[in-house]
Amino acid sequence: MGTLVFTESQKVTWDTPTVTDNSGSYTLVQTEGPQQDNEFTVGMTNITYVASDPSGNNASCSFIIDVMGN
């Protein structure tokens, strides 16, 4: 991801993480940070997703949204 420069806040979107599992069944939940399409204020925000399958296996994907002021 790149860094975008805005004055106070910016609506942010991203691609939801892709999940594959040999069972063909899983859940994907965003566990940290605001949902996408929300206004993000200047600063760094952690976003985390957790995927789980019926066997109890879990995997996570985390990234940082960095909104910088002018």
What are the beta bridge partners of residue 47? 63
pTM of structure: 0.82
Q: How confident is the model at residue 8 (pLDDT cuts 50, 70, 90)?
A: confident
List pLDDT tens digits, range 26-48.
Answer: 999 999 999 999 999 889 999 99
Q: How many domains does the structure of the chain reveal?
A: 1
> What is the pLDDT at residue 33?
95
Report whether pLDDT(62) > 90: yes
Q: How confident is the model at residue 2 (pLDDT cuts 50, 70, 90)?
A: low
Residues 6+ apart with CB under 8 A from 2: none
Domain range holding 45?
4-68
